[in-house]
Structure 1
Amino acid sequence: MKFFTADTHFYHESLLGMGEFAPRPFLTVEDMNQEIIKNWNEKVNETDTVYHLGDIALYFTKPAHTSEQAILDILNQLHGNLVLIKGNHDSRSLFKFLANNNYQLNSKLKFEFHDVGTLIKYDHRQYYLTHYPMMLGIAPQIINLHGHIHHYAVNLKENINVGVDTPETDYLNEKVPFGAPLSLSEISQMVEGKKDGFNKRH
């Protein structure tokens, strides 16, 4: 199966608390990290693929190897093969470190990398996967899955925020545990729910 997420921001201490931008009611980054890992692994199997649309972590040390190793240790605990799309907080140094420590899982590499985005097809739609929201114009069969804006939603029915803080999971019938990636069936629900809401307002 395929899953989607963004903006995990592992180790990002200044996001802790109930701020409007990214409410995260955890006392420590270790608590937040472990909650994401637990909820991720309860939903995703080892043989699944998760598209992470940027901003894996915010953790910088000197030497950089220390924080990069800590982030790798987190990613190695997450089930599935990870397709990593670079976010504004993902350094080239981190991606290079992950590439140098890549390994085989399910007959392919654990980590796959994209600087800007990638395109997949599902259920007669194309999904353009990026970190930043993209303004695609009139393209009814193309949906932009993105992150970056945390607890906000783009006022366009073709844009779906899949980040761990997204408010657009309100379109789903069941609550998604914090940090659990979204399945394609949940994405479809979000697309239809946002389209219906948009059409009612216009």
Structure 2
Amino acid sequence: MGRSHDGGAESEVSGAYYDWTKTRCPERPWIRDYGKTLVMKFFLCSRDGAGDVDKVYLTFSQALDVARRIDNTTLGIPKIVYLVGWQYNGHDSKYPAWDEVNERLKRPQDATALVSLRWLIAEARAYNATISLHLNMIDAFTDSPLWDEYLAEDIIAKDASCRPIEGEAFAGMQSYQISYAQEWSLGKSQQRIDRLLAMVPN
């Protein structure tokens, strides 16, 4: 049984299947009340048009220092910080994969960037900040580790001529649309989410 805490109000989640279509209400209202929270993004790293790292703006160590200074300025109000560019080679890099933390952001004393990310998540709590991750479930890039698998299993959406459907071009790289229904029916959406949750603490 899990217990969540939200601004003085606690709610329990049994872990059993919950059918919200019968109650028309979520099992619990929220874990974090965005209406009472300062929400922001930290832009950590950009990628270039070839898919490589373009520029590092903040390492994980520097991000913690920014969180500390913002906490001092805002007198300790609750904050949610979305890290942009935390994965692979920076912002929007290698979607739909989320499996690798950007090594350019790691602390020198840590073995991996994942260790550094977990450190940031834990340490930021002292500054009333919940660290979250900016990600994207709808786009795919040809340099993604998942590209060949998703293309073969028709998770990359295709037009009537069986060509992958283009999305927007981001920072010089063409994205392609994911078929949400196909990804979900094959269990791949859940696998992506489960792998991400296994990487980072709650």
**TM-score, reference length from structure 1:** 0.29
**TM-score, reference length from structure 2:** 0.29
Return the structure number with greater relative CO, CA threshold 8 A, min gap 6. 1
